[in-house]
Amino acid sequence: MPGLEYLIPFLAATLAFAYLPGPAMLYTAAQTIARGRAAGFWAVLGIHLGCYAHVAGAAFGLSAVFQLVPAAYLALKLAGAAYLIYLGIGLIVQRRRPTGDVPPPRARRSALLQSMLVEILNPKVAIFFIAFLPQFVDPTAAFPLWAQFLILGTVVNLAFSSADVVVVLFASTVMARARRSGVWERVARMVGGTLLVGLGARLAAERTP
C-alpha cells in the first residue's frame, strides 16, 4: 500500500470531494423527493455499484480510452444525458400511486438498475478517477499499481456513497410530513423529475475534455 505521505493527503482530498455538492447528490435527492427514503437508499446503492465499473476501468487502463478517443466520451455522455432526461420525464408524467417507506420489489429493482446505469453512463466519473487516483499511487510500494487503483478507488467510492446517504436522510427528514398529502406527492415528482432533466441537460451541454 502507499505510505502515509500518500494516504493522508488522499483521505483529506477524498473527503473534501465527497462532501462537495455534485450530480450524484442531486440525483439521490431527486429520487428521495420523488419516491421516498427507501428509493433514495436503493439509488445510492445503484450509484455505488455502478461506480465500480469506473474504478475497474481506471485500474486496468480502460478509462484512458475516453481521453484518447473523444468520440467515445461524447457518445457515452450523450447516452447518459438522454437517459437522465428520460427518467426525469418519466417521474413528471407518472400517475399517482400509493407510496410508503418500503417500495415493492419491482420498484426496488428498478431504482437499483436505473441508478447503476446512470452512473455507468457518466464518463465524467471515469475521467475523475484517472485524473485523481494516479496522484496517490506509489510506484515503489509492494502492491501492484492495479491493486492500488482498486483499493483507493473503493475508498473513494465508499466516501462518496456516505455523502449520498447523508443527502437521502436529510431530504427524507425535511420532506416527511409534506409527503403525506396527495398534492405534495405530485409536486415532489415534478421537483424530482425536473432535477433529473436538469442534470441530463447539464451533462449534455458540458464540453468534452
The widest CA-to-CA distance across the chain, in whole angstroms, is: 61
Q: Which three cell numbers stand for residue 33?
A: 423527493
pLDDT tens digits for range 34-82? 888 898 999 999 999 999 999 999 888 876 776 677 787 788 888 888 9
Q: Which residue has the cell 447539464?
A: 202
| 60: three-class secondary structure by DSSP | coil
For residues 125-140, give the mean pLDDT.
86
pLDDT tens digits for range 172-181? 887 776 655 5
Mean pLDDT estimate for the chain: 84
Which of 45-49, 102-106, 115-119, 189-193 is the least confident region?
A: 102-106
Q: What is the pTM for the complete model shown? A: 0.81
Instruction: Please determine, for residue 8, whether its predicted confidence score (pLDDT) is greater than 70.
Output: yes
Which of 18-22, 129-133, 156-160 is modeled with the greatest confidence?
A: 156-160
Pairwise CA distance, residues 32 & 27, whole Å? 9
Which of 3, 122, 170, 22 lies closest to 11, judged by CA? 3
Cα 64–Cα 66–Cα 67 angle in degrees, nearest 5: 70
Instruction: Please determine, for residue 101, whether its predicted confidence score (pLDDT) is greater than 60.
Output: no
pLDDT at 98: 47
